[in-house]
Amino acid sequence: MARKLILDVDPGIDDAVAMALALFDPRLDVVAVTATGGSVPPQQATANVQSLVTLLDPPRLPRLGAAPTDVGAVEIPWNLHGEDGLGGLDLPRVQLHGAHPSEKVIAETLRAWPREVTIVALGPLTNLSRALRRDPSLAEIVGGLIVCGGTAQARGTVTPVADLNFHADPAAARHVLGEPFAKTLLPVDTAAQVLLGFDLLERIPDVFSRAGRLFRAILPWAWRAQRQLLGAESACLPEVVALVAATNPELFERSSVAADVETAGELTTGMLVVDRRQVRRARPNVDLLTGCDTVAVKDCILKGMAAAAAATE
C-alpha cells in the first residue's frame, strides 16, 4: 500500500524537484500539498505550488493549501532560486478558487486518515505549528514527520549557525520538535554530503515530458547560481534528499537525540541545539540523520527524475 504524504513546501527549486519526484513515486500517495513562506514569500509559494501541481499532475490534483499571509520576509544572503523561486521559469499562474489555509488542510487530512499520514516538511514549520496550536489533539494522529532543517554542526546557511527553514520561524521549529510524536530530522549539513556535480545535468530527462521540461529549466539555473554566487562546482538539493529519507530510510544513519531550537539569541536565532552531554536532562525527541550512503541516494534521485519524466510524457 502506498504511503500517504502531506508535502509542506516553500518552492524553491529544491522543493519543486522533490514535489515532482513524490507525485510520481508509486510508493507514495501525496494526499495534500501545502505552501509556506521561506525560500520565497508566502504568496509566491502558493502560486508556485498551484502552478507546479497543475503542470505536473492535472488529472489527480491533491488537496492544496494556501500559505499564511502574515509570515515576515526572510533576509537571504544570496538568492539561489531566482525572483519567482523557480529560476525564472515563469509558469502560468493558476488561481484555484476556494483554497483553504494550509494549517486547515493539514488538520483535515490528518483527521481523514488518523495515524496513516506522514508529513514531509521541506520549508519552515509555520503551518504545522499553527495546526497543532489550534488543535493540540492532532499530535495523537500524526503518522510521522520528516523535517528538512537545522544544522547538526552549527554550520549555518543564512546565519553562521542557522539554516533558512529554522531561522525563518524558530518559534514554530521549537514548538514542533517538542511535540510527542515520531520525528526524523535531516539537517542541512547531512544533506550536503550528497553533492551533485555538473555531470548530473547530462543525465536530466529530455524535454519531451512535463517533468523533463521542468527539470531542464530549473536545474541548470540552480547550478549556474551555485557557481556564480558561491564559487561551487557542485550543488546539494537538501529537500530532495529529505524525500529520499522518506522513501529509502535504510540509506541513512541516525541517532536518537534531545534537540531544541534557539528562539531569542542575538546571534543564534534559529540554531538547532542538540544535547550531547553524557548525562542529559531531556529525553530524546528526534531521530537525527547523521550520514547516508551518498552513492545510493544520488541513484535514487536520478531514478526518481526518470520515473517522473516517464509518467508525464
Residues 227-263 pLDDT 10s = 877 777 888 999 999 999 999 999 999 999 999 999 9
Distance from C-alpha of 46 to C-alpha of 68, rounded to nearest angstrom? 9
pTM above the 0.85 mark? Answer: yes
Distance from C-alpha of 190 to C-alpha of 67, rounded to nearest angstrom? 28
Distance from C-alpha of 283 to C-alpha of 173, rounded to nearest angstrom? 18
Burial (CB < 10 A; 0-12, 13-18, 19+), residue 293, is middle
Chain-centre distance for alpha carbon 154: 20
Confidence of residue 225 (pLDDT cuts 50, 70, 90): confident
Instruction: Please answer whether residues 106 and 145 qualify as being in contact, where contact means their C-beta atoms are separated by less than 8 angstroms.
Output: no
Confidence of residue 1 (pLDDT cuts 50, 70, 90): confident
Q: How many domains does the chain have?
A: 1
Q: Residue 103: what pLDDT?
A: 96
Which domain does 300 fall in, by range? 3-311
Q: Residue 78: what pLDDT?
A: 67
Burial (CB < 10 A; 0-12, 13-18, 19+), residue 135, is middle
The CATH code of the domain that includes 69 is: 3.90.245.10
Q: Residue 126: what pLDDT?
A: 96
